[in-house]
């Protein structure tokens, strides 16, 4: 029998800890070894190597399910720390940064931005990305969807296109570039049908999915169009996503325009349910939380962007208690200069505790203030960032480490002083923050990273391309401002 290792047949041995993404006692696994064959986890325990399988020694390493990012704007990877929007709240920031630059992107700069964002995510241990892509206007000069799927495929990542867009503007035309011109609803829906036919895979282990995702349910479309988009999405067999209740302004706008709360408005248009998830949901009334929970609507929690824009902190514990599915997204790099899943989950863990502490009624017992240090565990955060996201995206074979599941997993080697001194190494990647060294990472059983390296990636070349692209975007933005 040949001794040459079989392609994509692996035995992962000697792990210090395996966190599974499951709940309760099952969140930590007593196994030390994982066998991967034909893209799946086929066996766990203490295993001996079989002929022709490649052995990966993970002594002193911890293994997590690969992260699932449920809300991103990849084009913003070239808008990090943009000065005009750096100290703005949401509405001012939108005009100052993403809307001001959107017309400056062409096919080349967009591709570079997508590549940077996907690589940043992959290097944090993220395998699945749902990008809320809303750079659409009439007579688009390039096909953003084709670029997004192409760049994800090159890296071996699962990719979900949340096809954004607007048939209305937010009433800021004088401040925004010409590229903000709205689409016709009919053209938008025709493109949705094209994208579903060309890309969408309905399977629970899919690498490509399409989602109906108007940029904002309150501001980017009319009520009849929103209701019709829900009907078309369900007819096409796809899920639905949008921004909602990121700030108090959403509550004010919904009351002024529709005489109801944002969630009530969405419910009236058939835009809630287990096939729907919203980004943010920071500002919710109690009755809205109950309605979202009863309908098992999902959330993409974006703690770093919400903090950066001063929007607040979503109450994940209360939302999950009512029946909502919780997931984590990094949002756009234009409002999150560290757009990766390790930074995001670290922030989610800390900010849930900070939120509970701020809201707690002061109670003193034995001289100690009762705060929020127990609001969320590391295991909770891992579950939200893996299986929670997979469930929201309809990827039921992804997100957990257990026999029969897709082999999407990341092996962290905690060899940086940041992780030295940990009494429980298993929590290190989330609790200690930073970017842990990736010994190996698998997506559907294929090794996509080894020894912290992405194959064939020239990081210096990418850095140079990014610098040139930023200069080009800045120049184009200034030129457009002169014309305006």
Any domain includes 474: no
Give pLDDT tens digits for 291-313: 999 999 999 999 999 999 999 99
Say whether both 256 and 148 belong to one domain: yes
Residue 470 inside a domain? The answer is no
Residues 301 and 422 in one domain: no
User: How many angstroms separate the Cα of 333 from the Cα of each of 192, 220, 429?
Assistant: 26, 22, 21
Confidence grade of residue 3 (pLDDT, cut at 50, 70, 90) = very low
Question: How far is C-alpha 194 from the geometric centre of its chain's CA atoms?
Answer: 24
| Together in a domain, 310 and 374 | yes
pLDDT given at position 241: 98
Average pLDDT over residues 205-227: 97
- Residue 114's pLDDT is what? 98
Does the residue 354 lie in any domain?
yes
What rounded mean pLDDT belongs to the chain?
93
Whether residue 210 sits in one domain with residue 157: yes
* Within-domain flag for 457: no
Both 351 and 258 in a single domain?
Answer: yes
Specify the CATH number for the domain of residue 73.
Answer: 3.20.20.140
pLDDT-derived band at 357, boundaries 50, 70, 90:
confident
Burial class from Cβ neighbours inside 10 Å (0-12, 13-18, 19+) for residue 439 reads buried
58 and 188 together in one domain: no
Note the pLDDT of residue 31. Answer: 97
Same domain, 87 and 19: no
Q: How far apart are CA 228 and CA 218, in angstroms?
A: 15
Note whether 432 and 289 are same-domain residues.
Answer: no
Residue 366 confidence (pLDDT) above 60? no
pLDDT at 362 over 70: no
Task: Note whether residue 464 is domain-resident.
Answer: no
Q: Are residues 353 and 444 in the same domain?
A: no
Asked which of 7-21, 177-191, 229-243 is least confident by mean pLDDT, the reply is 177-191
pLDDT at 6: 62
At residue 259 the predicted structure's pLDDT band, cuts being 50, 70 and 90, is very high
pLDDT in the model for residue 476: 93
List the structure tokens of 239: 């899920």
pLDDT at 2 over 70: no
Do 77 and 157 belong together in one domain? Answer: yes
Query: Domain count of the chain?
Result: 2
Tell me which of 361, 392, 423 is where a domain ends. Answer: 392
Residues 329, 301, single domain; the answer is yes
pTM value surpassing 0.85: yes
53 with 24, same domain: the answer is yes
Residue span of the structural domain in which 426 resides: 9-65+399-450
Instruction: Tell me if 468 is assigned to some domain.
Output: no
């Amino acid at each position: 029998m040949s001794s040459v290792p079989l392609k994509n047949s692996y035995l992962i041995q000697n792990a210090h800890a395996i966190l599974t993404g499951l709940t309760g006692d099952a969140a930590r696994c007593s196994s030390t070894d994982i066998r991967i064959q034909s893209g799946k986890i086929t066996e766990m325990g203490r295993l001996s190597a079989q002929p022709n399988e490649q052995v990966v020694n993970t002594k002193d390493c911890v293994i997590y399910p690969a992260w699932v990012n449920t809300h991103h704007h990849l084009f913003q990877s070239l808008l990090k720390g943009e000065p005009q929007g750096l100290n703005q709240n949401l509405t001012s920031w939108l005009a100052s940064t993403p809307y001001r630059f959107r017309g400056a992107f062409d096919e080349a700069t967009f591709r570079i931005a997508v590549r940077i964002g996907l690589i940043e995510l992959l290097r944090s241990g993220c395998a699945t990305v749902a990008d809320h892509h809303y750079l659409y206007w009439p007579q688009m000069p390039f096909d953003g969807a084709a670029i997004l799927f192409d760049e994800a495929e090159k890296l071996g990542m699962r990719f979900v296109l949340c096809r954004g867009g607007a048939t209305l503007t937010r009433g800021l035309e004088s401040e925004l570039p010409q590229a903000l011109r709205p689409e016709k609803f009919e053209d938008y829906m025709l493109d949705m049908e094209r994208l579903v036919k060309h890309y969408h895979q309905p399977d629970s282990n899919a690498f490509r999915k399409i989602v109906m995702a108007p940029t904002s349910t309150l501001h980017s479309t009319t009520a009849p169009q929103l209701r019709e988009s829900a009907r078309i999405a369900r007819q096409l067999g796809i899920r639905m996503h949008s921004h909602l209740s990121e700030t108090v302004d959403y509550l004010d706008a919904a009351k002024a325009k529709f005489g109801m709360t944002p969630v009530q408005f969405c419910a009236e248009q058939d835009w809630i349910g287990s096939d729907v998830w919203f980004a943010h949901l920071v500002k919710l009334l109690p009755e809205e939380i109950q309605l979202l929970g009863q309908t098992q609507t999902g959330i993409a929690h974006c703690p770093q962007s919400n903090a950066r824009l001063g929007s607040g902190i979503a109450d994940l514990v209360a939302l999950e208690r009512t029946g909502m599915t919780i997931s984590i997204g990094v949002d756009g790099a234009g409002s999150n200069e560290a757009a990766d899943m390790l930074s995001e989950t670290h922030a989610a863990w800390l900010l849930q505790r900070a939120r509970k502490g701020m809201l707690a009624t002061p109670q003193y017992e034995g001289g100690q203030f009762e705060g929020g240090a127990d609001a969320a565990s590391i295991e909770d955060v891992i579950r939200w960032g893996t299986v929670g996201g997979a469930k929201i995206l309809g990827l039921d074979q992804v997100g957990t480490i257990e026999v029969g599941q897709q082999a999407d997993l990341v092996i962290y080697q905690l060899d940086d002083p940041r992780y030295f001194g940990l009494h429980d190494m298993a929590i290190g990647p989330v609790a200690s923050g930073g970017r842990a060294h990736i010994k190996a990472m698998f997506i559907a059983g294929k090794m996509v990273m080894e020894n912290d390296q992405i194959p064939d990636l020239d990081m210096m070349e990418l850095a140079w391309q990014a610098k040139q692209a930023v200069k080009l975007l800045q120049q184009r933005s200034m030129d457009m401002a002169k014309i305006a």
